């Protein structure tokens, strides 16, 4: 089924939001991600590059059990890395010690870096590093610590910007009193009764020791969470969730593009998912198509959509066979030999 929402030309003109941080670096053409460049790839030789698998991070329940891995040969049928599966890491960060929304990336330093939501009402997010996806060192990112009246820091993601040679960490937060036009007392509320009215914020770092002051990344003019970005040769593909609850519920995903992870952002399709609530998008490029996986969380299942042009989207949810109870994380492609090594190391760590 192909979802064609709104007129294309009118949509792009109406949604060409260009707000971003005022001191963003010069906008340059994005390069290929470290994953797709020789020397920035987990694994190694040409034989490994020929046979690849989809590798997924995920959590279950509220994230109290830790972060797990799953694999797939075809990108549709996923299975646990081990049977029975065991977590690759349990959070030591935050008062709740949960690990929701895990996002992982492989950096030019040849290490894996992962961020996650460490608490529902924390102002920090979890951050960890590993050379093998099995042994981790943990720390936290002071996401909203220095921003007064912030309530939370949800669904962080991490990516590497080769143009600035910095890691970009971004997330969603509500700040009391800001963006009042979309703050509604009849929508989703915090435990204190404050309207949840999220926007996207970010920080950058080169060494994970010092972080730039957290700033607003993007205000698309509506309540939004779950931002994810994927670099291509021509720029960045961007996906997020319209979290609006009232006066009418949105709870769907949108698509955008940007020349850099700092913006400016241009919405290409205001709605790419169907008549259901969706969250936690993660993106891969497969045979010239952009595939976005997501969590159909009120139904206890996963879904996916595909596009050739970032405007017209086809729902392929019926093809997805997901691990029961798995909640959203990150899906990447890596050499199969690398997956085999991770599986063996995790098995011997039991």
pLDDT at 332: 97
Instruction: Give the predicted TM-score (pTM) of the model.
Output: 0.87
pLDDT at 43: 59
Token couple for 335: 């050499």
Look at residue 349 in the predicted model and tell me its pLDDT: 85
pLDDT of residue 31: 32
Which residue in 305, 278, 307 sits closest to 292, CA to CA? Answer: 305
The class (CATH top level) of 2-21+28-349 is mainly beta
Ordered DSSP codes for 279-346: EEEEEEEETTEEEEEEEETTTTEEEEEEESSSSSEEE-GGG-B--TTEE---EEEEEHHHHHHHHHHH
Cα separation, 309 vs 312, in Å, equals: 7
Q: What is the rounded CA–CA span in Å between residue 295 and residue 322?
A: 10
Digit-by-digit pLDDT tens for the chain (350 residues) are 333 322 323 333 333 333 344 333 332 323 333 333 333 457 555 554 569 999 999 999 999 999 999 999 999 999 999 999 999 999 999 999 999 999 999 999 999 999 999 999 999 999 999 999 999 999 999 999 999 999 999 999 999 999 999 999 999 999 999 999 999 999 999 999 999 999 999 999 999 999 999 999 999 999 999 999 999 999 999 999 999 999 999 999 999 999 999 999 999 999 999 999 999 999 999 999 999 999 999 999 999 999 999 999 999 999 999 999 999 999 999 999 999 999 999 999 87
Q: Residue 292 and residue 271: Cα distance in Å, rounded?
A: 13
Distance CA 212, CA 202 (A): 9
Nearest residue to 172 via CA among 138, 148, 143: 143
Query: In sequence order, what E strands does 73-197 have?
Result: 79-80, 100-106, 112-117, 125-130, 137-141, 154-161, 166-174
* pLDDT at position 1: 38
* Predicted local distance difference test score (pLDDT) of residue 47: 53
Determine the pLDDT at residue 18. 35
């Amino acid at each position: 089924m192909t979802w064609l929402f709104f007129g294309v030309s009118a949509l792009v003109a109406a949604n060409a939001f260009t707000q971003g941080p005022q001191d963003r670096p010069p906008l340059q053409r994005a390069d290929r991600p470290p994953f797709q460049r020789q020397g920035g790839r987990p694994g190694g030789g040409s034989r490994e590059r020929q046979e690849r698998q989809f590798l997924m991070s995920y959590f279950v329940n509220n994230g109290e059990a830790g972060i797990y891995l799953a694999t797939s040969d075809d990108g549709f049928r996923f299975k646990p890395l081990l049977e029975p599966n065991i977590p690759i890491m349990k959070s030591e960060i935050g008062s709740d010690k949960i690990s929701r929304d895990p996002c992982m990336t492989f950096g030019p330093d040849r290490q894996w870096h992962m961020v996650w939501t460490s608490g529902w009402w924390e102002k920090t997010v979890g951050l960890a590093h590993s050379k093998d996806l099995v042994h981790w060192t943990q720390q936290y990112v002071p996401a909203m610590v220095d921003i007064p009246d912030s309530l939370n820091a949800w669904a962080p993601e991490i990516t590497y910007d080769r143009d600035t040679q910095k890691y970009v960490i971004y997330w969603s937060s509500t700040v009391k009193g800001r963006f009042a036009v979309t703050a509604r007392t009849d929508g989703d509320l915090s435990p204190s009764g404050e309207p949840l009215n999220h926007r996207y914020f970010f920080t950058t770092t080169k060494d994970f020791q010092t972080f730039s002051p957290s700033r607003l990344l993007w205000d698309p003019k509506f309540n939004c969470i779950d931002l994810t970005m994927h670099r291509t040769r021509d720029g960045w593909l961007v996906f997020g969730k319209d979290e609006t609850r009232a006066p009418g519920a949105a709870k769907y995903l949108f698509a955008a593009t940007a020349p850099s992870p700092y913006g400016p952002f241009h919405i290409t399709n205001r709605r790419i998912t169907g008549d259901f609530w969706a969250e936690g998008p993660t993106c891969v490029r497969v045979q010239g198509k952009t595939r976005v996986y997501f969590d159909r969380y009120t139904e206890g299942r996963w879904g996916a959509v595909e596009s050739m042009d970032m405007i017209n989207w086809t729902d392929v949810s019926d093809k997805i066979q997901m691990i029961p109870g798995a909640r959203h994380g990150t899906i990447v492609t890596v050499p199969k030999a690398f997956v085999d090594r991770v599986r063996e190391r995790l098995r011997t760590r039991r």
